[in-house]
Chains A and B, each alone.
Chain A
Amino acid sequence: MMNTRFSAIFRKEFRHIFRDPRSLMIAILMPILMIFIYGHAIKFDIKNITLGINDQNRTRASRELIDKFAKSSYFIIAAYPENRQEIENLFQQREIKAAIVIPYDYSEKIKNEFRTKIQVLIDGSDSNTATVIMNYISIIMANVSEELNFQCVRSPIAAESRVWYNPNLESANFIIPGLVAIILMMICALMTSITIAREKETGTLEQILVSPIRPIEIIFGKVLPYVIIAFLDGASIVLAAKILFDIPIAGSLIQLTLLSIFYLYASLSIGVFISTRVKTQQVAMMGALVATILPSLLLSGFIFPIRSMPWLLRIISNVVPAKYYLDIIRGVILKGIGFSYLWHNTLFLFILGTLFLLISVTRFKTKLD
């Protein structure tokens, strides 16, 4: 493999990279900046939910109940609507996300019947948030009931749940590794997607094509230097994730780094594949963004579980490298598992990367038309 033609391309590509410090800085700093911005923007923990309370009871008991909500860090009591109409207006003006109606006989029923009902209204236009709010409210209600000793509502078998690997259910611990995967893939594909396209634009590819060089030497000579840059990217972004978001890393960083190389390889290969198919750098960049961000976001299991997708999407998800890498990075970071559990994902990434490179080699045109 290490023939003179391959090493000529390899060395030249290296010079291109390091002679352009601005692009190099972008390649290294952009991922860190992106993880910082997106890491703060994408959160599933919902805090400061605006709550409206219609207290028809107005007793000590009802005020104690309201107090529970006021003291929780999840809710802000934004308004005290007087009637149904006002509640509706508040929802429509988006002043509140949820409302609680405490009936006029609340305290009496507690005293006499040991059971009562309150009405909870939630803005369902954002169904994810609505579900979370519903959960928060039920938890608070359960606590209140316990304090009031409503033994009768307790079921005979109590489930004592304990969450493993992410005990506080911090969404950052779940999201940041996914973001690392997407950002890495995007940067890698972007970097390589423009390499061949650029030479088509400047005309240097024509000069290379009249030489006896073979496509495999061009393609591999162009990918390998970027593996090293991508590796720097990978290391810096994991470090940034740890420092900026305080993600606990349960497994071995060395294992994570080693396994990441295969993901970077697959991502770079996708970029090269795009580069061989298009004529200009602009199209190459657009192609790289579309081909990496959307599938990595939607079909990797980052946000939406793959198992609940229609069968066609489930099949497509098998060629999305991020799907395999998410298992790796979440596995190592959160569960602390290593190669013995993740080798088949790694193998798949290696196969995917090689597949894309081989397609690029066979489809690489040594003619101009």
Chain B
Amino acid sequence: MNHTSVKVQHLTKKFGNFTAVDNISLEVKGGEIFGFLGANGAGKTTTIRMLCGLLRPTSGEAWVNGYSINENSEEIKKNIGYMSQKFSLYNDLTVEENITFYGGIYGLNSSSLKQRREWILEKLNLNDQRRTLTREIPLGWKQRLALGCAILHQPPIIFLDEPTSGVDPISRREFWELINELAQQGTTIFVTTHYMDEAEYCNRLSIMHQGEIITIDSPRTLKKEYDKATIEDVFISLVGKWGIGYKGIREIRNME
């Protein structure tokens, strides 16, 4: 938990006149679960995409596992796992075929692929569904499968973009147990969410609003600092103060 896993300095992304990410800086240590909290459109996904090498930043710099996102984004791709907001496995492939495919594009050779595939299927409790078409399994399982595909190549850092949206509470709990286990083994987890209860699982939390990071700390320190019982209250008081207005808060409540 000592080395720096992700370092972001003055990162900015503009789409035309719209500033999606506005001059953010942060640092994540190895093995940390780092949470990104914010309403839709706060800039969470844009930040993650820049860190994964999917988007070029307008200005600023970031290093992922020591590689610069401006100069070495292809090298970064070997060192990260990524789960996008939208479910992006192939519905017309079976569970097993999806795993084989993602193992393949990460260049795993057949023996290590086989070993990892069995391990993942075991871990995710998907052994009975291995020959089921992915479109036929429930959403909670799909998300677990997507996580499984993202960690096949044992990356030191995983980016998860709203991995549990739309998933039932039990599946979410199981999902987070897996994330905890990975973090304990030293994997850095960079996760965005708008579930306030999930925010409590993070080691540290950054609250994003309109492209800016308005606060970063551990959930406990945040609650203490703002004198609130839950992260939800912290979030609402902070974002309210920053002028999101009534409509925004209702939106955030609806998302839960």
CB-based contact A213/B105 at 8 Å: yes
Given A367-B55, A368-B55, do A210 and B90 touch, yes or no (CB 8 Å)?
Answer: no
Q: Is A43 an interface residue (CB 8 A)?
A: no
Q: Report the nearest B residue to A213, measured CB to CB.
A: B105
Q: Fill in one digit per residue for B22-61: 1 if any A CB lies within 8 Å of its CB, else 0.
A: 0000000000000000000000000001001111100000
Q: Is B102 an interface residue (CB 8 A)?
A: yes
Q: Report the nearest A residue to B15, measured CB to CB.
A: A369
Cross-chain contact of A8 among B53, B54, B84, B104 (Cβ < 8 A): B104
A17 nearest CB across to chain B (Å) = 10
Q: Fill in one digit per residue for A184-218: 1 if any B CB lies within 8 Å of its CB, else 0.
A: 00000000000000000011101111111100000
Q: Report the nearest A residue to B159, measured CB to CB.
A: A210
CB-based contact A204/B89 at 8 Å: yes
Given A367-B54, A369-B55, A369-B56, do A211 and B105 touch, yes or no (CB 8 Å)?
Answer: yes
Chain A residues near B53: list those with CB within 8 A: 210, 366-367
CB-based contact B105/A5 at 8 Å: yes
Chain B residues near A40: list those with CB within 8 A: none
CB-based contact A210/B54 at 8 Å: yes
Q: Is A19 an interface residue (CB 8 A)?
A: yes
Can you list 10 A-B pairs with a CB-CB distance of less than 8 A?
A7-B104, A8-B100, A203-B88, A204-B89, A204-B90, A207-B82, A207-B84, A207-B89, A366-B53, A367-B53
Chain B residues near A154: list those with CB within 8 A: none
CB-based contact A203/B90 at 8 Å: no
**CB proximity to B under 8 Å, residues A6-50:** 7-9, 11-12, 15-16, 19-20
Q: Is A127 an interface residue (CB 8 A)?
A: no
Q: Is B92 an interface residue (CB 8 A)?
A: yes
CB-based contact A8/B101 at 8 Å: yes
Chain A residues near B89: list those with CB within 8 A: 204, 207
Chain B residues in contact with chain A, CB under 8 A?
15, 49, 52-56, 74, 77-78, 80, 82, 84, 86-90, 92-93, 97, 100-110
Chain B residues near A366: list those with CB within 8 A: 53, 74
Chain A: how many interface residues by the 8 Å CB criterion?
A: 27
Chain B residues near A11: list those with CB within 8 A: 100-101, 104
Cross-chain contact of A5 among B74, B87, B90, B104 (Cβ < 8 A): B104
Q: Is A168 an interface residue (CB 8 A)?
A: no
CB-based contact B55/A210 at 8 Å: no
CB-based contact A207/B97 at 8 Å: no
Given A5-B104, A203-B84, A367-B56, do A212 and B78 touch, yes or no (CB 8 Å)?
Answer: yes
Q: Is A308 an interface residue (CB 8 A)?
A: no
Chain B residues near A212: list those with CB within 8 A: 74, 77-78, 105-107
CB-based contact B93/A15 at 8 Å: yes
CB-based contact B97/A15 at 8 Å: yes
Expressed in whole angstroms, the Cα–Cα distance for A121 and B102 within the complex equals 73
Chain A residues near B74: list those with CB within 8 A: 212, 366
Q: Report the nearest B residue to A368, measured CB to CB.
A: B54
Chain A residues near B105: list those with CB within 8 A: 5, 8-9, 208, 211-213
Expressed in whole angstroms, the Cα–Cα distance for A209 and B84 within the complex equals 11
Most chain A CB within a 10 A radius of its CB, from B15, B53, B87, B90: B90
CB-based contact B92/A211 at 8 Å: no
Q: Report the nearest B residue to A208, measured CB to CB.
A: B105
Given A12-B90, A209-B54, do A4 and B108 touch, yes or no (CB 8 Å)?
Answer: yes
Chain A residues near B108: list those with CB within 8 A: 4
